Every structure is written in structure tokens, then in C-alpha cells.
């Protein structure tokens, strides 16, 4: 909507360290628990809790067990941001 | 974030018919059930479901019993849109 996208993601285990130079990124936990590590600490989100990671801030999502998360970012944003493309990188144009 | 706002709203009963000429509006149901009436029909959202109402489209949220909804719109959007300000109108600059 209006140049932004909602993405529903299923996370388990460690994501990669990355940042998004051009977009803030909002995480809203729909089911389970999500920890977001920062270089200077970590925040744990329970179901129904949300956090906005400002553009340019390095972070690494982690879920000990499967977690369902709504992610909100600018359209076309690569999920792994400035990290080298890898197994966790998905097509930003994919729709469900 | 980036000119948009997440707003957590508790709804019960009938909202007013309105539209937002300048912003799409996303509804994500966190708890309960929300019906959104349109001039040509209605959609009911269960917990975890979402809907984006395009800018300019008339709609009226309705919750038979209390419902917790995350609403995502451009910053400064008046919740009752183009409807006359009334009891349901809230300050778009209020923060929680």
C-alpha cells in the first residue's frame, strides 16, 4: 500500500546480520516469540508486540522455535538487506 | 515509520461511514473479529487477518464485541476520514 508492503514470514533459528539503508522495518509478532539482536543488545517480542528497526540499523532476527511475523517495509526491499545474498534471501517481488 | 503510523485501536459496535482521500488504510485484527462494510458488500476479518482499504473507498468498521485492531495509515490521518468530526474522532497526533 502506498509504496509499502506487508509480508508474512515464518522464522526459525538465526537470520543473518543486516540492515536496510533505505527503509525502516516494522516487525509485528503474530504467533510465537521473536528476538531481535542489535550490536548493543537485544529485544524479545511476544505475540502481539511490535518493534520498528530504523533504516541503517544492523539487526539479526532469531526465533528459538517457529515464529510467525508480519514485516512491513518499502516495496522491493530485499529481506536480507545489505548482507550478501544467500539461502535466506527471498525474491522481493514474490506475492502470496 | 517513513511517514506512516501504526495505531492500535479497540473497537466495539458501529464506526462511522468514511473514506480517506489521501491514504490507503490497512487493518490487521489482533484479537476478536472485525467486519468492514463497504457500499457494495462486507468483509469479516478474524484474528490474524488483514485487509487494505484503498484511498477514497467508503467503509464502515463494525465489531459485534470488543476487537483489537492494528491500523496502518499515513501520519496525521484523521481516523474518521472525511466524515464530520464527532464522538469517534480522535487526535491524529496522540501517541501511546
B84 contact A CB<8A = no
- Asked if B6 and A26 come within 8 Å (Cβ–Cβ), the reply is yes
Residue numbers in B near A4 (CB within 8 A) = 2, 4
B21 contact A CB<8A = no
Alpha carbon distance A40, A48 (integer Å): 24
pTM tops 0.90: no
Cell numbers linked to B65: 464485541
A7 contact B CB<8A = no
**Mind listing the pLDDT tens digit for each residue in B59-70?**
999 999 999 999
pLDDT band at A11 (very low <50, low <70, confident <90, very high): very high
Which region, left, alpha or beta, applies to residue B64 given φ > 0 means left and ψ of -120 to 50 means alpha?
Answer: alpha
Residue numbers in B near A24 (CB within 8 A) = 1-2
Residue numbers in B near A23 (CB within 8 A) = 2
Predicted complex: ipTM over 0.85 = no
Q: At A62, which helix (H) or strand (E)?
A: strand A59-74
B16 contact A CB<8A = no
Cell numbers linked to A44: 524479545
Cell numbers linked to A61: 532476527
**Mind listing the pLDDT tens digit for each residue in B31-49?**
999 999 999 999 999 998 9
**Mind listing the pLDDT tens digit for each residue in B1-37?**
888 889 999 999 999 999 999 999 999 999 999 999 9
Question: Which 8-state DSSP code applies to residue A10?
Answer: E
**Mind listing the pLDDT tens digit for each residue in A43-95?**
999 999 999 999 999 999 999 999 999 999 988 888 999 898 888 888 887 76
Alpha carbon distance B25, B2 (integer Å): 15
User: Which residues have a Cβ under 8 Å from the Cβ of B16 and sit 6 or more positions away?
Assistant: B60, B80, B83, B86, B88
Amino acid at each position: 500500500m502506498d509504496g509499502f508492503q506487508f509480508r508474512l514470514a515464518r522464522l526459525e533459528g538465526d537470520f543473518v546480520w543486516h540492515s536496510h539503508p533505505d527503509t525502516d522495518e516494522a516487525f509485528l509478532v503474530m504467533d510465537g516469540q521473536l528476538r531481535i539482536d542489535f550490536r548493543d543488545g537485544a529485544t524479545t517480542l511476544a505475540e502481539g508486540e511490535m518493534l520498528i528497526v530504523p533504516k541503517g540499523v544492523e539487526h539479526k532476527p532469531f526465533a528459538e522455535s517457529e515464529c510467525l511475523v508480519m514485516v512491513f517495509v518499502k516495496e522491493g526491499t530485499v529481506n536480507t538487506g545489505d548482507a550478501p545474498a544467500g539461502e535466506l534471501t527471498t525474491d522481493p517481488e514474490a506475492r502470496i
